[in-house]
Chains A and B, each alone.
Chain A
């Protein structure tokens, strides 16, 4: 399974880069989202995946009795998901605002703000 996950994260990164290199702002944003997902899986797979034993202590005991999944990568990823949501939602409304101002989704329409001011 690790190999498949590695393949997936590679593909997510590649698709992310590809979309970031496009002119459309929406694609740029999608690229960033994909990249974030890729990074999450990267952390996940590097923390040694374990099947069917979540890091939750059984009700009857005070400590773990068996093997359990590494909780640290999970804590990290949880933080990452939430933060990237903050970024994404802000970017989405920002994008809308830009679109309302310049009537375009094209990044190239935004690259010379100083000249337009003059």
Chain B
């Protein structure tokens, strides 16, 4: 199984260096990749249909619990077949559709990447591996949606899709990791056994909430649905592949996959039912008003995804059987309709359903394919769609609850909408009179109309033999979702019962609606008035306000004034230190331990304070520099009094040097500018005093703490014995900590180099402003 995932990835990366060859002559080889993969999975059908699951294990990052664990059961197999099977159709179709496009090779690179990622998602048996592939589908679909990168709208919708699915992925990761931690395993099949442990855990609502966000964003459920219609900017092969059959179903797949581990609780079922139910009716209504063929299909896809979520939410055996069948039904007819739309767009250069009609006269085979797909989507008897719809009705009718009747009504209404949408997309462009200017429309290449034709015919053939198809493809799928044997047997004919009545009624009502209601620009525009309350609008507003907030924050905090930065940093430090100081309780002073004062010390301190006052208030530069040196000398004297002769010498030398340098260099600077307002001065003074007080208080608090002198004692005792030096400070600097001093010298040398070069550097005339 690993090779099926890797084939696409490797080929995709090979396309970068060897793309040119593919572009010119060897492009026919490309579609055979999905063909081979499809045959591989088809070969597994009989085995899996017996209920066997095939697993494969390969270590990847064992220390993190991330491994290539693959598992092929009914659910995975159905999706793998859809991915590779519809992939085959799309590859043949896309090769003609994009013939001569300058990014032809790139397109197939992205498409292969996407296909492999998708296979990875459905085959992974390790939730972290699954997540990696899940993100890979988001990224590859970003490139595919934005494939027409010279169009702004295309780039925008690619970004929207990426941000919505990307945010969803973020939540999903959190949910999956949480679930894995609770279950104590990241292997999905092992999580099934932990169902009770997970569902009874106090964090269970959070886990499924996070996973729901991930799945709903991917599968375009309300309120995250809007990225899918936007993604229709992609080339049609992409829409047909990603947005009908595969990627959007990844969310559904995930929910179905995790149902045995997380599902069957009231919270799980109710949420899925409500979200799915709302999405399906909401999107079905929306699809009625679109005039763009792809818009119609996009909304009906959202609606179909809603149905799938809804069925998962019902959670009964009937519902899960219906779901497993409907996945296949929908993929078959929706991919066909998308490809037909692509053909129409490719040949006539319009997708406006109000302008297109009568095309059957120029492209009959395409019409046949479209008609078959539309009928399957409408659920006409003898199509596979009929079976699918029957099962949905059966699922809602068989519910025991009183309100089940309303769910049936909801399903019927949704299906009426879908019938109409299917007819609109599959029949309208082909019936009626061929308008002027469309006479010359040519038949598309065979490679373009044969794949949709095959899919459409399959939709009918499957409908004729539902028993066989169901046993092979859907039975084990339903079992995998339910986690038990569903005992499913599909039949073509159920006899005259409520379900059949509803089916016929749906078909009749849908057809009636199709004839009665015509989507027009005006209706679409009148609908646009509600955009203000649409989720797309709301999300965009949120995005904009975040952007604005960030801009405001940046402009306020990073306003470009150094002193404003200083003010903020110091205020923050004051708050933090003040809080910590306050936490540490009242400050005590041990008066007995203080050193007595003498008169000359007081005198020096007085001089120091006086000099400080002059620095702060003076307008003269020279005065302030000289006062600074006075402070330095006062400190020097304090060092002398308190047994630090080395410090005093250093301080004296350095202070003198600094002053000399200052005066030499700065003698010709202008006087201090002084146009600050009084208020700001007072504010700064308060901040400054606050800071000084806090530092002083910290000093007092530390003073009260007992001193440990173990290290000092060691140095004192061993200065002479070990290092043969009698000045302990010197011994520490040049012997015990000699390495530090050496590097200090290095630092000083670098500073000296800087000083020297800056002084020597001549000013270029161009530099002077």
Contact = CB atoms under 8 A, between A and B. Distances in A.
Given A4-B605, A55-B716, A77-B647, A86 B747 contact: yes
Contacts of A86: 747-748, 750-752
A38 B608 CA distance: 12
B646 A78 contact: yes
B737 to A, nearest CB: 7
B621 A26 contact: yes
Contact of B684 (A2, A18, A87): A18
Main secondary structure of the interface of A (DSSP, over half): helix
A88 B744 CA distance: 15
Contact of B596 (A1, A34, A97): A1
Contact of A70 (B662, B702, B712): B712
Contacts of A40: 635
A118 interface: no
B597 interface: yes
Contacts of A49: 595, 642-643
A37 B630 CA distance: 12
Contacts of B720: 57, 62-63
A72 to B, nearest CB: 5
B464 interface: no
Interface string B583-595: 0000001000011
B717 interface: yes
A30 B628 CA distance: 7
A77 B643 CA distance: 13
Given A45-B703, A56-B727, A93-B665, A14 B689 contact: yes
Given A52-B643, A75-B737, A90-B754, A96 B596 contact: no
A69 B642 contact: yes
A64 B715 CA distance: 11
Nearest to A53: B643
Nearest to A56: B727
Interface string A54-89: 111111001110001111101101110111011111
A85 B654 contact: yes
Contacts of B744: 79, 82-83
The size class of the interface chain B forms with chain A is 35 or more
A48 B707 contact: yes
A8 B608 contact: yes
Contact of A74 (B612, B646, B676, B692): B646
A41 B456 CA distance: 88
Contacts of A77: 644, 647
Interface string B619-662: 00100110010011001001101111111001100100110011
The 5 closest A-B pairs by CB, nearest first: A14-B692, A10-B696, A86-B751, A69-B643, A18-B688
B729 A17 contact: no
Interface string B667-700: 0011011001000000011011101110110011
Contacts of B650: 78, 81-82
Contacts of A5: 638
10 contacts: A2-B594, A13-B691, A21-B567, A55-B729, A63-B720, A68-B716, A69-B644, A70-B709, A71-B712, A96-B758
A21 B514 CA distance: 75
Interface in A87-115: 87-90, 92-97, 99-108, 110-112
Interface in A1-54: 1-24, 26-28, 30, 33-34, 37-38, 40-42, 44-54
A10 B692 contact: yes
A31 to B, nearest CB: 9
B755 A24 contact: no
Nearest to A59: B726
A68 to B, nearest CB: 6
B721 interface: yes
B608 A89 contact: no
A87 B702 CA distance: 28
A59 B725 CA distance: 10
Q: Chain A CB within 10 Å — which of B647, B748, B767 has the most? A: B647
A33 B699 contact: no
A76 to B, nearest CB: 9
Contact of B733 (A41, A47, A78, A90): A78
Interface stretch (B86-94, B192-200, B558-566): B558-566
A102 to B, nearest CB: 6
A54 to B, nearest CB: 4
B504 interface: no
B692 A11 contact: yes
B184 interface: no
Contacts of A14: 688-689, 691-693
Nearest to A26: B621
B699 A42 contact: yes
Contacts of B267: none
A39 to B, nearest CB: 9
B666 A92 contact: yes
A1 B594 contact: yes
A20 to B, nearest CB: 5
Contact of B695 (A1, A38, A101, A103): A38
Contact of B597 (A4, A79, A97, A103): A4
Contacts of A110: 562
Contacts of A52: 641, 643
Contacts of A107: 561-563
B728 A111 contact: no
Contacts of B516: none
B651 A81 contact: yes
Contact of B609 (A8, A81, A111): A8
B668 to A, nearest CB: 9
A78 B732 CA distance: 11
B654 A82 contact: yes
B754 A83 contact: no
B695 A42 contact: yes
A79 B733 contact: yes
Given A15-B615, A85-B748, 10 more contacts: A1-B595, A15-B692, A21-B684, A23-B676, A79-B733, A81-B650, A86-B752, A89-B658, A89-B755, A90-B758
